A and B are shown apart, each in its own frame.
Chain A
C-alpha cells in the first residue's frame, strides 16, 4: 500500500461545525431537553469561607407551590461516598458540604422546582445554621502551627508533599559559578468559558439507571469515580455529552462533583433535574488554576550553562483536594526542565488546602506557572552574567541531534529543532532591530522592553503522572495498582453507497474535530471531506472509551487523530484484501490509491470504495472466506511510552512534546503604568499541522488566555475568604481591544510516535504569555531595577513598583 497522499491534511479547510453554530442551531446542554418532565435545580451555597454546619430548615422551601424537593448535606452524607482523592491524606471530599463548609460558595443544599426562577426563590427560603470558624486563605499562613485546620482528620492543611530529586542538585549548586534566587507568585485564575456548566439527570428506578447529560469534557476516569460515589454499578451510570460544548479550557473536567450532586437530586426527588450553573456560581465555585508561591534557585557556570535548579512550590488547591489535583504540581513532571539541557533538579512541592475555591486543570495546566518562573530565572541569569537573554537560552537549548531526548525527570521529547524554531522567532520579531529601537527609546526616556520565553509544550498527558504525588514506598506496596496510559478510539464505517461515518469518543469544545477527522479520513481513503460524516457525541453506553478518554490535555491533535488514521488504515487493508480476492490476485499485489484499490502493476480493473461498499453490503458471499462481514473498523491508539512513574519519580508525563518560542516587545507608560504590546511573535513546533486555520485559532485563543492571567484576571479573596471578583465586572476577561496582534509561524518536526506526525497544540501560548510579557515588562523597567515576580500585573500593582523604584533611597 502506498502512503496516503495529503490532499486535505495541511489545508485550512473550512469547518463543518460552523453552519449550525452560525445559524443558532447548535446543540448545547441548555438548548434541547433530551427528555420530558424536566425540573430545575438551584444550589444553596455557603456564604462563609469556613463554618461548621449545625442544621437545615427546609420547611418553608418545601411549602412553596412547585417545589418538589430539597436535598441537604445530610442526604449527601447518608447516600453518597466521598470522592477518591489523589493523595494519601484522609481528605473527605463529598459532592456537597456535609460537616463543614470550607470555601465561600460550597454547595450545602439543592432545591428542585418547576422552573429556575422558583427554584431560586425556594433556595433563598432554605435556612442553614452555621458556626463560623477562623479562616485561612494564604498558603504560607495555612502551614503555620497555629493556623486554622480545614480537615481535622488530616490534622494539617498540607494535603501532600513530595521532594523529588533528579541527578545531583547539591553537587551542581556546589560547583556553580553563580547561584540565583528569586521568589515568584502566580495568581489564581480560571477558564470562564462563555457557556457555564450544565447537567440534566434522569433516574430510572426500575432499571436502576442514572442517565446524565452534561458538558463534561473528560477524562472519563471520573465516570467510574462518580459511579462509586453514588453507589451505582458502572453499567448503570450513563454519561452523555451533547454535540456542542461552549468552550472549556480545562474547567469542564471539574464538573463531575456536580454530576453526583444533581444525580443524587434526581434519585431523591424522582424527577428529571436540570441545573445550569450561573456566572456567579461559576466564579465562586467551579474551578481555577492554583495560586502558587515559588522559591526558585538556579546554578550556572560563568559561561551561562545552567547546571541545575531547585523549585520550591506552595500550591494552593483550596478547601479540598479534588482530582486530578495535585496535577498542579506534577502534570509537567516530564518537562520540568523545559527545553534546556541541565541534568540536576530538586523539586520540593507542597500542596496546601486553604479556604478558597477548588482548583483543577486550566489551559496550560501548571505549565504557565512553570515557565513564568523558569523563564524569569533565565533572564536573571542573563542579567547577572551580562549576556543577551537570547544568548543565554541558546547556550542551554537542547539540540536537534539529541532528539528523541529523555529528560532527567523521565520525559521523552519525541522530536524538535529548538534552536531553529528559536532563531525563526528572533528573525520574525526582528530581534536585533528591536534592541536598537530599545536603545533609542531609552535615550528618549521611554520604557521599551523585549521579552523572550521558550517552552516545551506537552500534549496528551499520561495518566501515570498523577502517582508522582505518592511516595515511592507507597507505590511499591504490592496492593498498589500502577497507572499509565493515554488512548483514544475511533470507529469508521462505510455505508452501502461508499460514504463514511466516523464515530469518536471525544468531547470537542470548539476544536473542530468533525472537520479535522473528515480531512484525515478523506486523505486516507481518497475521498472528499464532504463524503465523511463525523459523530462525536460521547455516550458511555455506546462509544468505545477508556479511563483516559475525553478532550483535554491537548489530546486530539495527537492521540485522537492517530486513532482515526489507524482505523482508516485498518479499513483500507480490509478493502485491499477484499478487492484482491475479487481480482483473484494476492493481497500484496494491490494497493489503495485515489479512493480505489488497484493492482500494483496498474493492470486490470480498479475497485472504488463505492464499488466495494455496494458489493460488500449487498453480497456478503463475495467476501473472501473467513473475512468478517461489514466494512467497518475500530482502532484504539495508545502510546507505548506512557509508563507508570518509576521508583526514582521519573515519568513521561505527556506523550508528545511540542516547542514554543516567543518574543514580545512592550512599552510601559511610566505615568499610568499601562502596558502596550508593540510586537508579539510566536513560533510553534507541533509536528504535522492538520488544519492551519484551526491551529492558528488555538494559538490566538491560548495566547489571550495567558494574557488574561498575566494582566487582568484573578480570583481575589479578602482575609475572611470572601471572593472579591465574583462578577464579570470585577473578574476581567480580555476583550477585542485588549487582544494583541500576533505573528504566528510554524516549524514542523513530525512526531515519530503518531501516524500523521502531529502533536497537540490546544494549550499552546497560554503557557508562555505570562512569562514573555513579564520578561518584556521587566526588561522595559530594568533601568529602574523593577522585576516582575508577581502576576497579574495590574496597573495599580505596576505603578506601585515603579513608584517604589523611583523613590530616592
Chain B
C-alpha cells in the first residue's frame, strides 16, 4: 500500500497554487490535511499526475470574526477549530461537531476546508455548514466566487468546484446569543463517519422559535437541510409534540442509501430519532447564555 508516483509541489502562496493547478489542467490534486486523500493514494485509488500541497500556505490558516461571521482559512486545522475560544463562543455547534471528526491525531492534520471540499456526506463539517447556512469562497486564476451549501454539494464526494478552483475560505454566521444547539451522531465506533448525524440550531424569542436549523450527515447523498421539519418548529414551537412531528417529518425528507454499515431504512429511521434527540438537547440549552 504505497502511493503511485506523482510530481509534488508545495507552493507558499495561494496565487502560486492556483497557477500550478491551472497548469496541470485537471490532472493535479490539491493536498490539504491529507486525512482522506492520502489513504486513497496509498490504496492507489487515485493517481494524480501531481500533488499541490497547500500546507505551506500560511495565509490559508486563520480564524477571524468579520461582520457577524466567523471566517476560517481553508487550511485551518480541525484541531485549531476544536480548541478555538472564538469558535466556542460564537459557534459552539461547530466545537461540539468537531469532537466527532475522526480522532485528535486526525484533527491535527485535517482541515475545515479539506473536509468540506471532500464532500463526504457522512462527514460532520458539511452538515454544520449546511445547518448554519454558511458559505465557502472558491478561488481560481480566473477569479473568486462564493457558494452556499446547496450550490456546492452535488452528490457523494462531488462538489461544483471546478478543477482549477481551490476552496480558500469557510464563512459561518455566528450563532445568535442564547441559541440552543446540538450535534447528535450515531456511529458504530467512536471516530467513525456517521451512520447518521444531525446538526441542530434553535433560536428562541421567549417561547417562540424564530429560527430552527436542521441538517443531516450520512442520511442523504449530500448534507440535507430539513427545511420542512424546521418549519414545524418555527410554527409550533419546541414542545414535545412539535419535536415529534418535526422528527417524523425529518425521516421523510431524506433519501439515504444502503451500505455495509446500515440500510437505507435504518438511516431514515435514525434521522428521525436523532432529530428528536438533537432538538431536545438544543431546547435544554436554549437560553443558557
Contacts and interface: CB of A to CB of B under 8 A. Distances in A.
Q: Do chains A and B touch in the complex (CB under 8 A)?
A: yes
B66 interface: no
B49 to A, nearest CB: 15
A114 B265 CA distance: 51
Interface stretch (B23-31, B108-116, B130-138, B188-196): B188-196
Interface stretch (A69-77, A382-390, A795-803): A795-803
Contact of B189 (A671, A716, A737): A737
A193 interface: no
Given A278-B1, A279-B1, A735 B269 contact: no
B189 A121 contact: no
Contacts of B43: 280, 727
Instruction: Give the most central of B190, B191, B260, B265: most A CB within 10 Å.
Output: B260
Do most interface residues of chain B lie in helix, strand or loop, or is the interface mixed?
A: loop
B148 interface: no
A67 B270 CA distance: 52
B88 interface: no
Contacts of B193: 729
Interface in A759-809: 794-796, 799-800, 803
Contacts of A671: 273
A39 B170 CA distance: 47
Nearest to B4: A121
B246 to A, nearest CB: 16
Contacts of A278: 1
Interface residues of B, number: 25
Interface string B16-47: 00000000000000000000000100011000
Interface string B182-220: 000010111111010000000000000000000000000
A120 B2 contact: yes
Contact of B190 (A672, A737, A796): A737
A738 B189 contact: yes
Given A671-B273, A716-B260, A737-B189, A796 B1 contact: no
B188 A712 contact: yes
B122 to A, nearest CB: 11
Interface residues of A, number: 29
Contacts of A280: 1, 43
A117 interface: yes
B260 A730 contact: yes
B2 A674 contact: no
Contacts of B191: 735, 737
Contacts of B189: 712, 732, 734-735, 737-738
A425 B65 CA distance: 59
A795 B190 contact: no
Given A121-B4, A278-B1, A800 B188 contact: no
B261 A794 contact: yes
Given A674-B186, A735-B190, A124 B44 contact: yes
Nearest to B5: A121
Nearest to A725: B260
Interface string B42-60: 0110000000000000000
Contacts of A799: 266, 269
A729 B186 CA distance: 15
Instruction: Give the most central of A712, A716, A795: most B CB within 10 Å.
Output: A795
B273 A672 contact: yes
Contacts of B269: 799, 803
B118 to A, nearest CB: 14
Nearest to B190: A737
Interface in A705-756: 712, 716, 724-725, 727, 729-730, 732, 734-735, 737-738
Contacts of B4: 121
B262 interface: yes
A716 B260 CA distance: 8
Contacts of A727: 39, 43
B2 A116 contact: yes
B51 to A, nearest CB: 15
Contact of A795 (B2, B5, B39, B266): B266
Contacts, number: 58
Contacts of A116: 2
Contacts of B260: 716, 724-725, 730
Interface string A122-157: 001000000000000000000000000000000000
Nearest to A673: B266
Contacts of A712: 188-189
A796 B261 contact: yes
Contacts of B192: 729, 732
B160 interface: no
Contacts of B265: 800
B195 to A, nearest CB: 7
A727 B2 CA distance: 15
Contacts of B39: 727
A796 B266 contact: yes
Nearest to A119: B2
Contacts of B270: 672
B263 interface: yes
B192 to A, nearest CB: 7
Contact of B266 (A117, A724, A800): A800
A338 B266 CA distance: 38
A803 B270 CA distance: 13
Interface in A59-84: none
Contacts of A796: 261-263, 266
Interface string A670-682: 0110100000000
Contacts of A279: 1
A672 B270 CA distance: 7
Contacts of B1: 120, 278-280
Contacts of B273: 671-672
B184 to A, nearest CB: 10
Contacts of A803: 269
A723 to B, nearest CB: 10
A124 B44 CA distance: 10
B44 A795 contact: no
Nearest to B267: A796
Interface in B247-289: 260-263, 265-266, 269-270, 273
Interface in B141-199: 186, 188-193, 195
Instruction: Give the most central of A674, A724, A796: most B CB within 10 Å.
Output: A796
A591 to B, nearest CB: 58
A799 B262 CA distance: 10
A672 B262 contact: no
Nearest to B266: A796
Interface in A270-289: 278-280
A224 to B, nearest CB: 34
A738 B187 CA distance: 11
B44 A732 contact: no
A113 B195 CA distance: 42
B120 to A, nearest CB: 11
Interface in A172-211: none
A280 B39 CA distance: 12
Contacts of B188: 712, 732, 794-795
Nearest 5 pairs of A and B residues by beta carbon: A737-B190, A278-B1, A117-B2, A671-B273, A796-B266
Given A279-B1, A738-B189, 16 more contacts: A120-B1, A120-B44, A280-B43, A672-B273, A712-B189, A729-B192, A730-B261, A732-B188, A732-B192, A735-B190, A737-B189, A737-B191, A794-B261, A796-B262, A799-B269, A800-B266
27 contacts: A120-B2, A121-B4, A124-B44, A278-B1, A280-B1, A672-B270, A712-B188, A712-B189, A716-B260, A724-B260, A725-B260, A729-B192, A730-B260, A732-B188, A732-B192, A735-B189, A735-B190, A735-B191, A738-B189, A794-B188, A794-B261, A795-B186, A795-B188, A795-B262, A796-B261, A799-B269, A800-B266
Interface of B: 1-5, 39, 43-44, 186, 188-193, 195, 260-263, 265-266, 269-270, 273
Interface of A: 116-117, 120-121, 124, 278-280, 671-672, 674, 712, 716, 724-725, 727, 729-730, 732, 734-735, 737-738, 794-796, 799-800, 803
